[in-house]
Amino acid sequence: MTETVRKFHPNEPGSVSGIVYSVLGLMDIQGGLSIAEMERKMFYSTGNLRGASQAEHTVAIVAGYLIALFGLGLLLFGLHALKMIRDFHKIRKYLGDCELAEIREMAEQLHWKEVSLRRRLKAMIQKNLFLQGHINAESTFFLLTDDLYGQYLDAVVLWKEQQKEWEKLGFQQEQQILLQNAYPVQERIGQAALREKNEKMKKCMERMEQSVERLLHAAAQNPSNLANLHTFLNYFLPTADKLVERYQQLPVEESEMENIKQLQTELSGALEELAEAFERLTAQLCEQLEMEVTSNLYALRIIMEQHRRLGVTA
């Protein structure tokens, strides 16, 4: 039996020390202020003291305040540690069994700013709360296992090799960026298909993802193929991405609300038509890689105009 990957530290470093530092801090604050107050009263009640005795009281008062100040530092340190544990529990609850999470989406769900979330994640990784936590180089994803991070590093190497290959084939920088932005869309459509419960829509998204994969493969072989698919990559593919995302946001359970039911029908119809259009475009392009595909792109444009009222724009 495969051993379950341990992603979280079982003892939560900082939970006990946070309480200890907070208690010690409160004790030092109370003790320091008590010493300072006692010495201050003695100082004023013995006003006839001069020289060394007066200086001793002054030093004791200052020492009391310094102890209180040190206690305040301990208290703040302890509270910070406890806050980190509280935030860790929130993040852990959000992640569940996931091994990969998009930082932007996580920040939205937790109602934190992305910058703040990244800072917290980095601090938790340093504190070993996440035993195998990693943030990718672009600071867009949080990976929870070393194995997944290793796959990411391998993918980075392969991607750099792909970029070198594109340069040899004559792809310009902007063309490479266009392709680079298209591959995550294919991945998101594929992931949406995996999550989809409705069998009909699941197959629809799978067909769409397969067509996009073949089109991207064709586009990556020759700059002229990419030129033929420029409109597809710049407009139709991002629009399909947004349609899939919006469909995924609809209630999973069948809704009795008329507007929701109508939106479900319209979105599913739009996705079905797009899947068919993508398949036609794929078949045409794969028959003759360098042929003009303007007619099919025009057909796609008509479809997208029909469904513009769904509120999805590229």
Same domain, 214 and 277: yes
Q: Which of 245, 243, 179, 242 minimizes the C-alpha distance to 212?
A: 179
Angstrom CA distances, 246 to 58, 197, 264, 313, stand at 70, 15, 10, 11
Same domain, 218 and 254: yes
Nearest-angstrom CA–CA distance, 254 and 285: 38
Domain final residue pick, 111, 145, 168: 168
Is the entire prediction scored with pTM above 0.75?
no
Q: Are residues 199 and 303 in the same domain?
A: yes
Number of residues that this document lists for the chain? 314
Give the chain's domain count: 3
Q: Are residues 58 and 22 in the same domain?
A: yes
Judge whether 7 lies within some domain: no
CA separation for the pair 26, 82 (Å, rounded): 15
Q: Shortest CA distance to 218 belongs to which of 169, 157, 277, 184? A: 169
pLDDT over threshold 90, residue 47: no
Question: Do the domain assignments include residue 197?
Answer: yes
Range of the domain at 235: 170-310
Specify whether the CB–CB gap between 71 and 27 falls below 8 A: yes
| 21 and 60 both lie in a single domain | yes
Work out the mean pLDDT of the chain and round it to a whole number: 81
The answer to whether residues 150 and 235 belong to one domain is: no
Q: Are residues 137 and 189 in the same domain?
A: no
**One domain for residues 174 and 253:** yes
Q: Is residue 86 situated within a structural domain?
A: no
Residue 49 has pLDDT above 60, yes or no: no
pLDDT above 50: residue 310: no
Same domain, residue pair 297 and 205? yes
Comparing 299 with 194, the larger pLDDT belongs to 194
Last residue of a domain, one of 117, 146, 168: 168
H or E element in which residue 276 lies: helix 258-287
- Helices within the chain (DSSP H only): 15-45, 52-95, 103-110, 114-126, 146-169, 173-195, 199-219, 223-228, 230-231, 237-248, 258-287, 294-306
197 and 180 within one domain: yes
Give 184's contacts (C-beta < 8 A, 6+ positions apart): none
What band does 267 get if pLDDT is binned at 50, 70 and 90? confident
Gap between the Cα atoms of 65 and 6, Å rounded: 46
In a domain, 112, yes or no: yes
Residue type, 77: F
**What pLDDT, on a 0 to 100 scale, did the predictor assign at position 294?**
45
Question: Domain for residue 115, yes or no?
Answer: yes
Residues 139 and 182 in one domain: no
pLDDT at 125 over 70: yes
Q: Which pLDDT belongs to residue 290?
A: 43
| Stretch (H or E) spanning 134 | strand 134-135
Return the CATH number at 154: 1.10.10
Q: Is residue 157 domain-shared with residue 269, that is, in the same domain? A: no
Residue 4 lies in a domain: no
**From the centroid of its chain, how far is CA 83?**
21
More confident residue, 119 or 49: 119
The pLDDT of residue 2 is 40
What is the separation, in whole angstroms, between the first and last Cα of the chain? Answer: 46
186 belongs to a structural domain = yes
Which amino acid is located at 236 in the chain? F
Domain contains 91 = no
pLDDT tens per residue across span 62-96: 898 999 999 999 999 999 989 999 999 999 999 88
**Domain end call among 23, 53, 81:** 81
Look at 180 and 308; give whichever has higher pLDDT: 180
